[in-house]
Amino acid sequence: MAGGNLLLASLAVAPVAIAGILCLRNRPNAREAVSIGASLLLLGISVAVYRALQAGDSPQWHSGELLPGLRIALSVEPLGALFALVASFLWLVTVVYAVGYMRGHNEQHQARFYAFFALSIGCVMGVAFAANLFTLFLFYELLSLSTWPLVVHAGTDEARHGGRVYLGILLTTSILFFLPAIILTWWTSGTLAFTPGGVFPPDVSPLLLSVLLLLFVFGVGKAAIMPFHRWLPAAMVAPTPVSALLHAVAVVKAGVFSVVKIGVYIFGLDQLAAVDSRDWLLYLAGFTLLAASIVALRQDNLKARLAYSTVSQLAYITLGVLLAVPDGVVGSGMHIAMHAFGKITLFFCAGAILVATHKTRVSQLGGLGRQMPFTMGAFLVASLCIVGLPPTGGTWSKWYLMLGTLDAGAWPLAFALILSSLLSIVYLTMIPVRAFSTFEGDAAAVEEGGIREAPLACCLAIGVTGAGCIALFFFPQPLYELVAGVPLWGRR
Amino acid sequence: MDIASYFNYWIVIVLMMLGFYIVIARGNLVKKLIGLNIFQTSVFILYISAGKVSDGAAPILTEGVSVYSNPLPHVLILTAIVVGIATTAVGLALVARIHEAYGTVEESQILEQDNAC
Amino acid sequence: MLSHLPILPVLLPLLGAPICALLRKPVAAWLFACTVALLTFAAAIALLAQTWQQGVLSYALGGWAAPWGIEYRIDLLNGLVLTLVSGMASAVLLGGRASIWRETPEEKRSLFLVAFLLCLAGLQGIAATGDAFNLFVFLEISSLSTYALVATGRDRRALVAAYNYLIMGTIGATFILIGIGFIYMLTGTLNMMDLAQRLPALTESRTAFAGFVFIIVGVCLKLALFPLHLWLPGAYTHASSMVTVFLAATATKVALYVLIRFSFSVFRLEFSTLALPLETVFLTLGIVAVFAGSLVAIYQPDLKRGLAYSSVAQIGYMVIGVGVGTVIGLQAALVHLFNHALMKGALFMALAAVVYRVGDGKFSSLRGIGREMPLTCACMLLGGLSLIGVPGTAGFISKWYLVVAVADREQWVLVALILAGSLLTAVYIWRLVETVYLGVPGPRQVPDSPAGRAEAPPGLLAVSVVLALANVYFGFDTRLPVEAASGAAESLFAAGQP
């Protein structure tokens, strides 16, 4: 029961933090201290949950019945613990970063910003610890809604339009596809609990399973499989810390996390491998990761380029689980963490550049390495992490994903993975390279005046996550053990 | 079963359709109410006709009579008549106030005024 | 006293109304009306609790036993409706004083409350009675007082709306009267239970069919089922705020109750040959109502009117539940009946609070109001989310049941359409959210409205908050509506077992 209280506490942190923030809305220092305190607390809870899991404990909690047989239930399994750890750690870092960014950028309505930020993270915890599809859906939808105010934070027409696309696509997919998929699952199998090995009885018609898989993969719009990826670039109108945490970690990872959980615990790898529509979806994922990379190449706006890069990387994760082999799941699980660290660093750098120089376009960044060597250095490390090159953590996840494709015998997909990685070298790694080596013509763009980095808080956050990328290369063991501990098979 | 024996019901149908037609077709609010009244009256006749038992006497206990008409529909329809009067009263009150507010009881002119502002 | 419990929810407001008319001082009348409404509510709750434990309660009016006398018959279904209606009436009266006072001239306030109590008595009577003709009488009591209430709106268009409602409502009621006449001619009884026993033998009769169709069409007029909904938007838009809250939360619900009562208790649809075409009609009209209502709602420049059209759409959902024609479908309809009262109650109540501040409900007046009235708008937001059916709100529970019910019949197209309908809801609710929170405030029409942060009067605000929280509460603790609905649905079906 103590473990169950831990899970409840992870949900309770957000409301308490919001109350604190709103009470202290006119005192910035106290307000931000509350935010940081809450994120520290949440990190502590996540670590405690992780410890409990390591100790062989499985904390659980459930409410009374909402509908006959349906409860709000929380429990911990390795993937959820991983996601919670990553999200709560990066929330802490992001809050530190946001303090520097929001002040440096003179944003309005900061109390509202921190309050909804906390609410979003609370929802992420719910997604991470959900023990059944219903609970997952509950927090998934709340996450969409609670991030909308952050996306439209600026209040301009552009932000409003971005917000409409964002919410429009996320709600449409979840109501039209995700919800009926859940109800169909309930109707077919009589349960929504995440069960190792899947929930469907063996005699379910293959057609139904095919339809369900399609509904689930498209229904989880947050996983941004084409053609439902448009919301992600649209959400880039948000302030950078929002893009960083929500659209590199919380929201998008909630999406792929849901896909992984559905693949592993609702279908089960055995049944997943036999679903007819899986092949088709695999190639759609392959197409998405290539197409998004190509689109990213052509984006001049830095944040838009990062957004398309995210679309591409998310497709890696979806693809990993759809392969329905253990290595694929391990790769997907690890990539959730690796990509989170890499992408959040990139967004932090983009924000730092914006605060320090007010530049948003890739073409303006030539030679910037002289002015912001630390930021651009971190950018380089993080882009290597996304590409999957040593000495960064991305190496491992890409390695397992590749093994997974080979294991599943999907040669064309392996080729697509390599090609997309090569493309990402071009569209990501070339940015810091060009920033450090001033080319002709760009020299004029460099303002003389020596080193002028972003506020200290920003640099601190960038340093932590950048170091994280490298640390994950040298110490991937705990992460691997966690993901490899996912119970892939039910009782056979 | 000759048609004439259904005389009452033919009247009901004719009145009902007349009333209904007036309600739908007339633009004058007072005339609409008149139509509504005719419509309701037809229903009253329907009930009362249904209460009539062939060769039945008025439902008053007297010597030598064993077949009575059914009194219940009469009672029911008394209630319905009261309801009808109340409806007409409320309707006319509304029309009077509409006349005060718009200066007309023609539906088309009221619509015009509403659209104008 | 306790043995007279079934009559109390009807008798209290019916007797209260004339007494209220004697109280010339508006405040005294208001206090009295509140007391009556609360007592009615208490009696209804006691009734619901009693039916929950003991099953059906029968009460012979004036001691004349059924089927000759008028019987009041309370089962779970009308217990739930009685509680809902009297609860909403209490909420509106308790919280709405500021709004009523603002929108009604002083000399008419007492009379407004009289009409309100009469309307309550009528609605309660419809729900409580077990006699078909008695139902018609109460229907007219509630309708007549509703016409008067609608006409109290400040705008002169309220008069026209009330007149149109009167014409349509009277036609509907007269249709019901004709229908009741037909089945009386056929069976010689007016008691619903008695009818239910005699009608199954007569399913082939054309008279029974005609009677049933007359009743259904009449009820659908009252229910505002598309395409018979034309009176509703006008009446809701132009009536004064509190009347709209009350009507939206209760009047159509009671009409739906009548529809269910006649379809399942009296005519026992599931055994008659009528069932098949009627199901198709209900499903088709329901889904058309959902789309037509929502699409029109999206383009309304006035929020009150938009929400009125949204009611047309939501009625569509309930009728779909009835049209599915299974226990679980009926249950879905009943759960939605309850939940929709909460949603629309919260939305219209919060809107009334906003109207109190800014003068009208046009979108142009609502711009940026979220910053000035954060709590009120939060209530509106919660009601809206519930209307969309976001998980964690009462609306989600309704939608879940409805989709499961339709999926159970394997009508997949209908499932998709129902869900697409809730997307349309999301569109007009989100238009509201954007206006309220992101809009730039324009000049206000009411000159005396204070600038800056100022919530509505405490009464309005408190009721809005309670209703909004009820939407969340019943999104998690669903026992009351779900169990009452399932009990009611099962007993409706079980009663018909031959």
pLDDT exceeds cutoff 50 at C157:
yes
Q: Average pLDDT, stretch A474-487?
A: 84
pLDDT of residue A440: 47
Query: Can you tell me which residue has the tokens 């109350």?
Result: A19
Mean pLDDT for chain C? 86
HSE-CB at C366 with a 13 A cutoff on CA atoms is 25
Which pLDDT value is given to residue B87?
93
| Contact (CB<8Å) A66/C397 | yes
Distance from CA of C397 to the nearest CA of A (A): 8
Neighbour-count burial of A467, counting CB atoms closer than 10 A to its CB (0-12 exposed, 13-18 middle, 19+ buried):
middle
C with A: touching (≥3 Cβ pairs within 8 Å):
yes
Could you tell me the CA-to-CA distances from A96 to A58, A245, A459, C492 in Å, in that order?
32, 12, 10, 61
C54: tokens are 């003991």
Q: Which amino acid is at C35?
A: T
Residues of chain B contacting C170 with CB distance shorter than 8 Å: 36, 40, 87, 91
Cβ of C477 under 8 Å from any chain A Cβ?
Answer: yes
Asked if B114 is an interface residue toward chain C (Cβ–Cβ < 8 A), one would say: yes
Contact C403 A180 (CB under 8 A): yes
Strand-strand pairing, C71-74 and C57-60:
antiparallel
Q: Which of A395, A413, A396, A394 is CA-nearest to residue A405?
A: A413
Tell me, yes or no, if B98 comes closer than 8 A to chain C by beta carbon. Answer: yes
Q: Is the ipTM of this complex over 0.95?
A: no
Whole-angstrom distance, CA of residue C254 vs CA of residue C219: 10
Q: Are C388 and C326 in contact (CB under 8 A)?
A: no
- What average pLDDT score do residues A76-91 get? 89
> Using CB atoms, which residue from C157, C174, C185 is nearest to B43?
C174
> Is B80 close to C159, i.e. CB distance below 8 A?
no
Select the residue of B40, B76, B110 nearest C160 (Cβ to Cβ): B110
On whether any CB of chain A is under 8 Å from the CB of C407, the answer is: yes
Confidence of residue C497 (pLDDT cuts 50, 70, 90): very low
CA contacts within 13 A on the Cβ side of C123: 37
B12 touches chain C (CB under 8 A): no
Per-residue pLDDT tens over the stretch C32-62: 999 999 999 999 999 888 888 888 888 887 7
**Cβ atoms C40, C9 nearer than 8 A:** yes
Whole-angstrom distance, CA of residue A94 vs CA of residue A242:
9
Q: Is the Cβ pair C167, B47 closer than 8 Å?
A: no
Q: Give the gap in angstroms from C-alpha C472 to the nearest C-alpha of chain A.
A: 12
| Residue in the block written with tokens 């730092």 | A352
Exposed, middle or buried by CB within 10 Å (0-12, 13-18, 19+), for A105? middle
Nearest to C320 by CA among C251, C255, C411, C212: C411
Region A244-253: mean pLDDT is 84
Closest-CA distance of chain C to residue A113, Å: 14
Q: Hey, how many other C-beta atoms are within 10 angstroms of the C-beta on C492?
A: 24
pLDDT at C457 exceeding the cut of 90: no
> C267-286, pLDDT tens digit by residue?
776 555 565 577 888 889 99
Residues of A whose CB is below 8 A from C415: 180, 183
Identify the pLDDT of residue C145: 93
Burial of C451 (0-12, 13-18, 19+ CB in 10 A): exposed
Confidence (pLDDT) at A9: 82
Which chains border A (3 or more CB–CB pairs < 8 Å)? C
Query: Taking a C-beta distance cutoff of 8 angstroms, is the pair A213, A259 a contact?
Result: no
Residues 6+ apart with CB under 8 A from C408: A187, C324, C326, C328, C329
Chain C interface, Cβ < 8 Å to B = 133, 136-137, 140, 144, 147-148, 151, 156-157, 159-160, 162-163, 166-167, 170-171, 173-174, 177-178, 181, 184-185
Tokens 């509409």, located at residue: B98
Report the DSSP pairing between strands A70-75 and A60-67: antiparallel
User: Which of C465, C487, C489, C471 has its CA nearest to residue C339?
Assistant: C471
Is the model's pLDDT at A116 over the cut of 80?
Answer: yes
Q: For residue A1, what pLDDT band results from cuts at 50, 70 and 90? A: very low
Q: Which residues contact C260 (CB under 8 A, 6 or more apart)?
A: C77, C322, C330, C333, C334, C492
Mapped onto helix, strand or coil, the DSSP state of residue A73 is: strand
Residue C175 pLDDT class (50, 70, 90 cuts): very high
Distance CA C334, CA C486 (A): 8
Q: What is the DSSP letter of C275?
A: H
Contact list, A186 vs chain C (CB under 8 Å): 404
Cβ contacts of C105 on chain B, cutoff 8 Å: none
Distance from CA of B53 to the nearest CA of C (A): 12
Q: Which residues of C touch B97 (CB under 8 A)?
A: 151, 159
**Cβ–Cβ of A183/C407 closer than 8 Å?**
yes
Instruction: Give the mean pLDDT of C418-437.
Output: 89
Domain ranges of chain C: 2-495
- Residue identified by tokens 């250095």 is A377
* DSSP 8-state code for residue A105: T
Burial class (CB in 10 A: 0-12, 13-18, 19+), A227: exposed
Of A386, A361, A369, A396, residue with least CA distance to A466: A386
Q: Pick from C396, C377, C361, C351: which is nearest to C437 by CA?
A: C377
Q: Percent of chain C having pLDDT more than 90?
A: 31
Identify the residue among B28, B87, B97 best suited for mutation to test binding to C, counting C beta carbons within 10 A and taking the highest: B87
- What is the structure's pLDDT at B93? 93
What is the rounded distance in angstroms from the CA atom of residue A329 to the CA atom of residue A252? 17
Give C190's DSSP letter.
-
Nearest residue on chain B to C155, alpha-carbon basis = B101
User: Does B90 contact C147 at a Cβ distance shorter than 8 Å?
Assistant: yes
Distance CA A444, CA A446 (A): 5
Six-digit token string for A148: 């909308």
N-term to C-term CA, chain B: 60
Q: CB–CB of B98 and C163 under 8 A?
A: yes
Residues A337-346 pLDDT 10s: 899 999 999 9
CB atoms within 10 A of CB C425: 25
Buried b (16+ CB within 10 A) or exposed e, B20-41: bebbeebebbeebbebbbbbbb
User: A188 to chain C, minimum CA–CA distance in Å?
Assistant: 10
pLDDT tens by residue, B28-52: 999 999 999 999 999 999 888 888 7
Subunits in contact with chain C (3 or more CB pairs closer than 8 Å): A, B
Whether B and A touch, i.e. at least 3 CB pairs below 8 A, reads as: no
- What's the CA gap between A194 and C450, in Å, rounded? 54
Q: Which residues does residue C239 pair with via DSSP β-bridges, in sequence order?
A: none
Query: β-strands C57-60, A70-75: how paired?
Result: unpaired
pLDDT in tens, A296-337: 888 888 888 888 999 999 999 999 888 888 888 889 999 998
Do the chains contact at A66 and C408, CB–CB below 8 Å?
no
Residue C269's pLDDT is what?
62
Q: Mutation test of the interface with chain C: which of A119, A136, A175, A177, choosing the one with the most C Cβ atoms within 10 A?
A: A175
Please report the pLDDT score of residue C357 as a whole number: 82
What size, in residues, is chain C? 498
**Residue C9 in tokens:** 């929810």
Please compute the mean of the pLDDT values over residues A195-216 and round it to a whole number. Answer: 86
Q: Is C391–A138 a contact, with Cβ atoms under 8 angstroms apart?
A: yes
- Section A345-368 average pLDDT: 83
The single-letter code of the amino acid at A443 is A
Question: Mean pLDDT over residues A402-423, rounded?
Answer: 87
Closest partner residue to A141 (CB to CB) among C391, C416, C419 is C391
Segments of chain B scoring below 70 in pLDDT: 1-4, 117
Task: Read off the pLDDT band of A196 (50, 70, 90).
Answer: confident
Residue C498 predicted with pLDDT over 50: no
List of chain A residues whose C-beta atoms are within 8 Å of the C-beta of residue C391? 134, 137-138, 141-142
Q: Lowest mean pLDDT: which of A229-243, A357-371, A429-443, C45-59?
A: A429-443
Whether A167 has a pLDDT exceeding 60, the answer reads yes
Taking CB atoms and an 8 Å cutoff, what residues of chain C touch A142? 390-392
**pLDDT at residue C453 tops 70:** no
Q: Which residue among C390, C422, C478 sits closest to A145, beta carbon to beta carbon? A: C390
Going from the N-terminus, what domains does chain B have, and what CATH number goes with each?
3-116 (1.10.287.3510)
pTM of the complete model = 0.89
For residue C398, the chain A residue with the least C-alpha distance is A67
Helix (H, G, I), strand (E, B) or coil at B28: strand
All residues of chain C having their beta carbon less than 8 Å from the beta carbon of residue B76 are 133
Average pLDDT over residues C382-404: 90
- Write down the pLDDT at residue B84: 92
Confidence of residue A460 (pLDDT cuts 50, 70, 90): confident
| Chain C residue closest in CA terms to A176 | C419
Q: Which residue does chain C place closest to B86, by CA atoms?
A: C144
Question: What integer is the mean pLDDT of C238-253?
Answer: 90
- pLDDT of C124 reads 92
Residues 6 or more apart whose CB falls under 8 angstroms from that of C483 comprise none
Q: What percent of chain A has pLDDT over 90?
A: 5
Asked whether residue C3 carries a pLDDT value surpassing 80, the answer given is no
**Residue that is written with structure tokens 């709004």 in the block:** C99
Residue C450: band (very low, low, confident or very high) from pLDDT cuts 50, 70, 90: low
Provide the number of CB pairs (under 8 Å) joining chain B to chain C: 66
B43/C181 touch (CB, cutoff 8 Å), yes or no? yes
Pick the residue from chain C with its C-alpha nearest to B29.
C163
On whether the CB atoms of residues A405 and A315 are closer than 8 A, the answer is no
B114/C162 CB distance under 8 A: no
Nearest to C423 among A134, A164, A176 (CB): A176
Across A420-429, A452-461, B87-96, C251-260, least confident range: A452-461
Please name the residue of chain C whose CA is at the shortest distance from the CA of residue A164. C430
What values do phi and psi take at A239, rounded to 5? -60, 150
The more confidently predicted of residues C498 and A49 is A49
In contact, C231 and C162? CB cutoff 8 Å: no
Contacts of C159 in chain B (CB under 8 A): 94, 97-98, 101
Task: Count CB-CB contacts under 10 A for residue B101.
Answer: 16
Q: Do C423 and A175 touch (CB under 8 A)?
A: yes
Backbone angles phi, psi at C71, to 5 degrees: -105, 135
Q: Which of B21, B75, B83 to mutate against chain C (most C CBs within 10 Å)? A: B83
